[in-house]
Structure 1
């Protein structure tokens, strides 16, 4: 399998995952204060939304790459 087909397949998978989940979240730890031996830290939960148009564009781009790779190969 050549690299062009792998890139196309990865784009399609990423687009489908974006459609299925719509985003992801993660926690970020920040240190707010260090007072002697006491460290105060805060964990913040951040979320990233993946737009619908970006998921559809990734699927279309992946299909296009696969079609172009099939015509050249």
Structure 2
């Protein structure tokens, strides 16, 4: 397998995962206060919506790379 096929397969996998999940959640620490031995941290949960067009685009581009990577020159 050459690099184009591997990248293409990764893009196809990422596109399918993007369409299946629809959003990604993560926790972000926003404020931190230290007063002597006392610490206060605020953690905020954030969601990122993954656009459908990005998932479809990744699948299409990945498919093109897999096909083009398999051709002999």
Q: Provide TM-score, normalisation by structure 2.
A: 0.89
Q: Runs of 4+ in structure 1 displaced over 3 angstroms?
A: none
* Root-mean-square deviation (Å): 1.4
Tell me which residue corresponds to 1:45: 45
Tell me which residue corresponds to 1:4: 4
* Alignment gaps of 5+ in structure 1: none
Residues paired across the two proteins, number: 73
Q: Provide TM-score, normalisation by structure 1.
A: 0.89
* Alignment gaps of 5+ in structure 2: none
Of the structure 1 ranges 63-72 and 14-23, higher mean CA displacement relative to structure 2 is found in: 63-72
Q: Secondary structure in 1 aligned to 2:8?
A: helix
Distance between the aligned counterparts of 2:51 and 2:6, measured in 1? Answer: 24
